[in-house]
C-alpha cells in the first residue's frame, strides 16, 4: 500500500459531454486479466464525461499507478441513483465507496465507516460541521468540495442591461431585473424539463426563501405548511406567464443551458457552479458569476451550501481497508485541490489551494466575507426522503402551464404525508 506522504503527478482532465449509464459494478473482483487485484467499486453519482467525473477518474488512475494491486472502478451516474442505492441498502450489497449527495449523515451514516479518526479529519471545513457531523462528533464521508451555490448569471448580459447583481437581494428587485432582461431580448431564466434536476433545483433554490425558520421546522417535524408552497408555486407561475423561462424548457439539455449561459442568450440559471465550467467549455470567453438567492417571503438573501461532492466507505465492506486508503489519497492537498478546482467549488477541507477561476470574484464578494447567510438544501433539511421527484414534477408542470398552483400544492401535500409516514 502507498505511503501517505508521497507526491504524485496527476494526469489531465477532459471536458464536458453528456451521458449516463446504469448503476452497476461488482465489489471485490476485477476484469479479466486483473488476476488477484482488489477492485473497488466507486459509485460516483457523476455524469459520464462531466468535469467532476473526469477529475475523479484521473485521480483513480493516479492511485492505481501507485497501487498496482488495486483497481478503481469509477461508475458514472445512472438514471435513478437514489432508488438504486435504496435497493442496495435493503439488500446489504453496497459499493465499496459511494457518493452521498448531501445525505452522508441523515441517510447513509449507519452504513458508512466513521472518518473522524482519519489523519485529515481535523481539517474538515467548519461550514460543514452542522450538516455532516453527528451529535457525537462523527462524520461519515470525505467532502471533496464544500457546496456553495446561488444563481449563476452572465456578467455581460447584466452589465449591458445596467443591472448590478449585488442589488438583486430582494424578490421585487429580482423581478424587475427579469422584466428588464426580457425587454432587452434575452431569456431571463433557463431551466430544463428534459434534464429534470434543473427543474427540481429551481424549487429547491427558492424553497428556502419561501418558509421562515418556524415554518421550516414544522416541515422537518412532519407538519405540512401550505403557505410557503403556495408562495413558491405562485412565483413560478407568474414568471412562466410573463415568459421569463426559456421557450425550449421541455427539450433543452444541460449542454444547451450551459451554452446559452455562456453565450449570453440567457441571463440566470439556478444550478450548482459546475455549470459555469461547462459554459466555459462551450464558450471559452464566457463571463459567468453567481449571486445570492432573493427570498420570496421577504427575508434576507441567501446562499445554499453544505456537503458537496462527498464519498464514504462501506463499513462492512470486505475491501474497507483499501477503500479508506483511497479516500486518504483523495484527501491529500494536491489531489483534493485539483478536484475542487475542476468542480468550481471550495474544497471540503481547510487550507487547500483551489483555483476557482472566473468565479473567484463572486466567492470573494458574496461568500468569503461571511455576511450573506448560508442555508442548507431545502429538500435535504426539511422534506422527507423522496420529495425531490415531487419538486421536479410540480415545478415542470407549473413552468409548462400543465399544472395549477392549487393542484401543485395538493400534490406536494399528498406526497409529503405519504413519504413522511414511511420514514
Domains parsed from the chain with CATH numbers: 38-145+308-351 (3.40.190.10), 148-305+366-421 (3.40.190.10)
* Residues 5, 34 contacting (CB under 8 angstroms): no
Instruction: Check pLDDT > 70 for residue 266.
Output: yes
All three cell numbers of 272, joined, read: 450548482
Instruction: Check pLDDT > 90 for residue 350.
Output: yes
Instruction: Check pLDDT > 90 for residue 8.
Output: no
> For residue 79, what pLDDT is reported?
81
Each residue of 162-197: pLDDT tens digit? 999 999 999 999 999 999 999 999 999 999 999 888
Each residue of 48-87: pLDDT tens digit? 988 889 999 999 999 999 999 999 999 999 888 988 999 9
Going by C-beta distance under 8 Å and a sequence separation of 6 or more, which residues neighbour residue 363? 148, 346, 356
Adjacency order of strands within the sheet including 146-149: 146-149, 302-307, 373-375
DSSP string, 217-266: HHHHTT---HHHHHHHHHHHHHHHHTT-B-TTTTT--HHHHHHHHHHTSE
Whole-number mean pLDDT of the chain? 90
Predicted TM-score (pTM) of the model is: 0.79
The pLDDT > 70 percentage for the chain reads 91
Instruction: Check pLDDT > 80 for residue 137.
Output: yes
Euclidean distance between CA atoms 374 and 116, whole angstroms? 24
> For residue 228, what pLDDT is reported?
97
Euclidean distance between CA atoms 391 and 205, whole angstroms? 11
> For residue 47, what pLDDT is reported?
87
> For residue 12, what pLDDT is reported?
32
* Residues 50, 258 contacting (CB under 8 angstroms): no
> For residue 222, what pLDDT is reported?
96
Instruction: Give the start-end residues of each E strand in 84-133.
Output: 97-99
For CA atoms 381, 382, 388, 394, the dihedral sign is negative
Amino acid at each position: 500500500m502507498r505511503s501517505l506522504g508521497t507526491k504524485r503527478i496527476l494526469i489531465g482532465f477532459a471536458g464536458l459531454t453528456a451521458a449516463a449509464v446504469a448503476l452497476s459494478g461488482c465489489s471485490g473482483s476485477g476484469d479479466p486479466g486483473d488476476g488477484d487485484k482488489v477492485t473497488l467499486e466507486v459509485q460516483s453519482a457523476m455524469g459520464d464525461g462531466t468535469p467532476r467525473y473526469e477529475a475523479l477518474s484521473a485521480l483513480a488512475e493516479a492511485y492505481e499507478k501507485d497501487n498496482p494491486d488495486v483497481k478503481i472502478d469509477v461508475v458514472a451516474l445512472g438514471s435513478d441513483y437514489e432508488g438504486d442505492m435504496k435497493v442496495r441498502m435493503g439488500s446489504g450489497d453496497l459499493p465499496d465507496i459511494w457518493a452521498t449527495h448531501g445525505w452522508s449523515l441523515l441517510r447513509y451514516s449507519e452504513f458508512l465507516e466513521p472518518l473522524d479518526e482519519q489523519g485529515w479529519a481535523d481539517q474538515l471545513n467548519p461550514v460543514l460541521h452542522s450538516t455532516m457531523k453527528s451529535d457525537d462528533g462523527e462524520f461519515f464521508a470525505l467532502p471533496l468540495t464544500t457546496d456553495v451555490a446561488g444563481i449563476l448569471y452572465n456578467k455581460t448580459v447584466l452589465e449591458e442591461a445596467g443591472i448590478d447583481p449585488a442589488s438583486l437581494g430582494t424578490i421585487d428587485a429580482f423581478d424587475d431585473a427579469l422584466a428588464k432582461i426580457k425587454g432587452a431580448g434575452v431569456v431571463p431564466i433557463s431551466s430544463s424539463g428534459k434534464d429534470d434536476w434543473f427543474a427540481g433545483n429551481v424549487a429547491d433554490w427558492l424553497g428556502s426563501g419561501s418558509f421562515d425558520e418556524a415554518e421550516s421546522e414544522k416541515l422537518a417535524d412532519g407538519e405540512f405548511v401550505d403557505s410557503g408552497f403556495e408562495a413558491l408555486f405562485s412565483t413560478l407561475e407568474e414568471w412562466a406567464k410573463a415568459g421569463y423561462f426559456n421557450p425550449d424548457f421541455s427539450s433543452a439539455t444541460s449542454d444547451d443551458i450551459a451554452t446559452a449561459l455562456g453565450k449570453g442568450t440567457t441571463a440566470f440559471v439556478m444550478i450548482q457552479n459546475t455549470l459555469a465550467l461547462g459554459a466555459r467549455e462551450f464558450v471559452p470567453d464566457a463571463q459567468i458569476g453567481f449571486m445570492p438567492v432573493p427570498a420570496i417571503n421577504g427575508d434576507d438573501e441567501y446562499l445554499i451550501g453544505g456537503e458537496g461532492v462527498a464519498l464514504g466507505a462501506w463499513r462492512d465492506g470486505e475491501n474497507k481497508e483499501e477503500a479508506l486508503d483511497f479516500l486518504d489519497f483523495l484527501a491529500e492537498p494536491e489531489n483534493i485541490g485539483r478536484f475542487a478546482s475542476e468542480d468550481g467549488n471550495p474544497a471540503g477541507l481547510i487550507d487547500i489551494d483551489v483555483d476557482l477561476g472566473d468565479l473567484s470574484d463572486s466567492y470573494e464578494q458574496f461568500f468569503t466575507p461571511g455576511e450573506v447567510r448560508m442555508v442548507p438544501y431545502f429538500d435535504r433539511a426539511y422534506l422527507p426522503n423522496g420529495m425531490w421527484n415531487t419538486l421536479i414534477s410540480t415545478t415542470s408542470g407549473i413552468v409548462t402551464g400543465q399544472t395549477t398552483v392549487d393542484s401543485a400544492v395538493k400534490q406536494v401535500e399528498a406526497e409529503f404525508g405519504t413519504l413522511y409516514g414511511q420514514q
